[in-house]
Structure 1
Amino acid sequence: MLQVGQEAPDFEAESSQGKIKLSDFKGKKSVILYFYPKAFTPGCSRELQRFTELYDEFKEHNVEIIGVSVDSLSSVKKFSEKYNAKFPLISDKEKKIVTAYGVLNEKGTSAQRVTFIIDENGKIINILDKLKKAEEHADRALEVIKSKK
């Protein structure tokens, strides 16, 4: 897995809101890049709901949120619609992004639940993993963002 202080690998991918390129945010916004194992599972649903609930607060701090899973594009679009996600969810079916970030699970079937906090310069400033509850990722990421200001 990548480490704090490293440059976040750039990527271009299809999402629930069209094509996204990480480098488009460089110099403009910080990015919360969170990886989740599987759409519509209880933990992933709670995590998406919590990021959605806190979305306006993240925006106040000039932060963009992007969710990533290896689910199909149609699945991430349905997942996004069901929970009214205000931010893009990426379909990484080819597993290029999860591999670049070192978060592919041991079986090679899905992403591990890991959240990367990336600053405006494209550097990883914090990594959240091994939290007890999926929805804690949103709250902890917001705490990190607030502490950096």
Structure 2
Amino acid sequence: MIKKMAILNAFKLSFIALPVAVGLACASQPAQAALSQGTNAPDFTLRGALAGKPITFSLKSALTKGPVVLYFFPAAFTAGYTQEAHDFAAAAEQFQAQGATLVGITAGNTDRVSEFSKVECRDKFAVLADPGALTAILYHSVNTEHQTLLSQRTSYVIAPDGNILLSFTSNNPEQHVSETLESLKKWHASQVQK
């Protein structure tokens, strides 16, 4: 009888210890880094808005026109992300001069992308809604510090062949504009030399 109770207690303890061990192992894993330069950008299609009007954006389709600058941000109408939108809007003509399509993606307050595209992006570029952060997950650009999945502040420059030319993660909004523009200019210079 004592032996049976010892086995039963060990069995009960394993049901408690196993989930705790798995949880600790997962917590000790580093966050997955953004997709790296040189990898292929996953294709996606999302709905969003440009100048407050609804659009459907397809990466594959946009790449037929030239490079794409894709920037993920956690949520619309918060201080840092509003500043980033203003910075990208101010530089929109420079991106156009490089033949690039500029687009923002957010998993936060997705019901407000239409308003955000008009007010904060100043009608200069599209903002896409990423409910559940599914596209952010594809791009390894997920911020796990919140209870809900949100996009991490990561920017990508994607060449027309789908190759990622730049993968940049930083909480500094101003750097995203300068880094993506610099990457586009280097890519254009390399195309001229071919």
In which range does the TM-score fall when normalised by the shorter chain? over 0.9
In 1, the alpha carbon distance for the partners of 2:130 and 2:182 equals 27
Partner of 1:110: 150
Summarize the alignment of residues 1-80 of structure 1 with structure 2, pairs less than 5 Å apart. Answer: 1-17=34-50, 18-80=55-117
TM-score, scaled relative to structure 1: 0.92
User: Over alpha carbons, which structure has the higher Rg?
Assistant: 2
Contact 2:76 2:109 in 1 (8 A): no
Contact 2:75 2:109 in 1 (8 A): no
Aligned length: 148
Of all paired residues, the percent bearing the same amino acid is 26
Per chain length, whose mean CA-contact separation is higher, i.e. which structure has more relative contact order (CA < 8 Å, sep 6+)?
Answer: 1
Q: Which runs of 4+ in 1 moved over 4 A?
A: none
Structure 2: give runs of 5+ residues left out of the alignment.
1-33, 189-194
TM-score, scaled relative to structure 2: 0.72
Higher helix proportion: 2
Structure 1: give runs of 5+ residues left out of the alignment.
none
Partner of 2:159: 119
Deviation at 1:72, TM superposition (A): 4.2
Query: Could you say what the CA RMSD is over the residues aligned between the two structures, in angstroms?
Result: 1.4
Q: Structure 1 stretch 50-59 or stretch 19-28: which is displaced more?
A: 19-28
In 1, the alpha carbon distance for the partners of 2:84 and 2:56 equals 23
